[in-house]
Amino acid sequence: MNISLTPQSEAIVSKYMAQGYSVEEIIEQALKSFDNQGQSYTEWLQREVQAGLQQAQSGKFSNRSIDEIIAAAKAKQGQ
């Protein structure tokens, strides 16, 4: 497989190669990190949806728009 990297990504790969890592190790670690981020986001989203459902079932509703709710949730997560 051939991939093309941006100059910034190429610089990052070069930095780690200079530290003794192989390209394969760098890509593998990057993919694991990317996958973990996706899983973390999915788990967070599932918790938020579950909390919202529980609140709705108990009669607690918000007057905020979906955009306001998303912005507040992202701020809470530090994104």
Domain of residue 69: give its range. Answer: 7-77
Q: What are phi and psi of 60, to 5 degrees?
A: -95, 120
Does residue 56 belong to any structural domain of this protein? yes
Q: End-to-end alpha-carbon separation of the chain, Å?
A: 32
Residue showing tokens 């200079």: 18
Q: Residue 6: its pLDDT value, please?
A: 92
The answer to whether the beta carbons of residues 7 and 14 sit under 8 Å apart is no
Does residue 71 belong to any structural domain of this protein? yes
Does residue 54 belong to any structural domain of this protein? yes
Provide the number of structural domains found in the chain.
Answer: 1
Q: Residue 48: its pLDDT value, please?
A: 86
Q: What pTM does this model have?
A: 0.51
Does residue 1 belong to any structural domain of this protein? no
- Cα gap 37→35, rounded to integer Å: 5
**Residue-level pLDDT, tens digit, the chain, 79 residues:** 888 999 999 999 999 999 999 999 999 999 998 888 888 888 888 898 899 889 888 988 878 888 998 898 889 887 6
Q: Residue 64: its pLDDT value, please?
A: 87
Does residue 2 belong to any structural domain of this protein? no
